[in-house]
Amino acid sequence: MANVAVIGAQWGDEGKGKVVDWLASRADVVVRFQGGHNAGHTLVVGNETYKLSLLPSGLVREKLGIIGNGVVIDPEALLAEIDKVTAQGLRVSPATLRIAENAALILPFHGALDRAREAARGDQKIGTTGRGIGPAYEDKVARRAIRVADLAEPETLSLKLDELLRHHNTLLASLGAETFDKAVLLAWLLALAPRILPYAEPLWIRLDELRRAGKRILFEGAQAVMLDVDHGTYPYVTSSNTVAATAASGAGMGPGAIGFVLGIAKSYSTRVGSGPFPTELHDATGQLLGDRGNEYGTNTGRRRRCGWFDAVLVRQAVKVAGINGLALTKLDVLDGLSELKVCTGYRIDGALHHHLPAAPRAQEAASPEYEVLEGWKGSTRGARSWGELPAQAIKYVRRIEELVEAPVTLLSTSPERDDTILVRDPFEG
């Protein structure tokens, strides 16, 4: 049996929560390997809706959940999320949740700096959630981060806070923002330590044991390839690598452990926040897609920008992230449209391009070249087999497969967990 890594193949919000939940029921352990609490998965189980930010989705299915070293953790947000889902009936304890002892922490000044920078950018805002994820990753690579294991060493915390506050208070003061007091932060961290440390361990040991025992491991990614800090629409990206290769480094395993890479893509395109979006629609069709798709961010509440399916970007994601198969979601949102458009290239200064250039101005100037496809009159909502789909819907899916050069492995036809057409079992490799 293969392990499976699930990543977004567009700009995030592709419906990973449902797919991960569907796969988690068949996995033994679910690992979050990058990102922070700006990412969010919504899982609908029966009459209960769970909105998760840091907690691995497998906890909903009573599977072991692991937060890997590639994640940056806001300890207060994590504890609040644990309290919230516990009140909903989930069991979250050190027996069901483990956290990498070498994961870096998000501290209050990270969020303050994030928000102050965005305010200073004015019209050039990146569109961050202001939760401190980027500044926390900056501290990690600058080798001054406080990590989970440090919570057990008050002297280490004190020394690291000295260095961190010299850096962050200087930046905050230059931006006209409030600075932070060391004594207050130290007391806060020491108070949190007894609640966080019971979850911590050197996870690479446990994961190696699970792999050797033949357990099924599901790697759960946050955001998506087009928000990858290297391969996305920089600088309008997240602060971590979101491609499948990060599942190994972000969990503490070798690259051979990843297994099948499943990319999640909507049957159309959406994006939250700023940045280039070549196929964005500002007309009634864009409004219709947003309304039908309930396009609001799980954590941000911001309405997503909507547009036609961009085969150029998804093909790019397939190549750079090593995607073996796609899970195509929200096909039912397209029901009843007389025609559909798929982007097959971009015009930039008159020249045709079949990839999105890295330069920001070229990205903004990209004008989509469309292939027009016939829509369908019947309904795809709730379909659980190919035989229940209208013929034109099948043709649409098949054409997407050709254009992105990857097979559709799963097809989702509603938010309900079981409204899924399985073409190939990712766990079978």
Q: Return the active site residues.
A: 13, 41
Sequence-distant (6+) residues with CB within 8 A of 181 are none
Reported residue count of the chain is: 429
Strands 4-8 and 260-266: parallel
Sequence-distant (6+) residues with CB within 8 A of 232 are 225, 226, 238, 242
Pairwise CA distance, residues 127 & 161, whole Å: 28
Cα-based distances in Å from 351 to 77, 366, 367: 47, 10, 10
Q: Which DSSP helix (H) or strand (E) runs through 260?
A: strand 260-266
Q: Is 328 left (phi over 0), alpha (psi -120 to 50) or beta?
A: beta
Q: Are 70 and 251 contacting, i.e. CB atoms less than 8 angstroms apart?
A: yes
Place of tokens 């690992």: 31
Quick count: other Cβ atoms within 10 Å of Cβ 141? 10
